[in-house]
Amino acid sequence: MVSHTDIDASELHAFLSSQKTILVDVRNDDEVARGVIEGAMHLPMAVIPHMGKLLCEHNETALIFYCHSGIRSAQAAAFIASMDRDNVYNLRGGILAWANAGYTFVLKAG
């Protein structure tokens, strides 16, 4: 069975600067209004099951999920990995870990 891999903030930072990634923020609208990791697309947790087939495309590209603390994004990553999607990652500790590591945010586009 395919599973996802947990990564920490420094590993995510390295991914973003060294390879093509799809970064997905699964937080709610009110949470993303405060800021997102640059380059992230916002797909609230509730839409992940409906987006499964689309998220399974581009299997060679790293697909990385994050949320506030890493719980919801781990669920999203496990769900997509269960669909035989390779290269699925979860940001351990979520955006809190990203902030605690000293990395920055941007305002959500749109």
Residues identified as active-site: 67
80: its two tokens: 């997509």
Hey, what are 3's tokens? 């599973």
Residue 50 backbone class (left: φ over 0; alpha: ψ -120 to 50; beta: rest): alpha
Spatial separation of the C-alpha atoms in residues 91 and 32, rounded to whole Å:
16
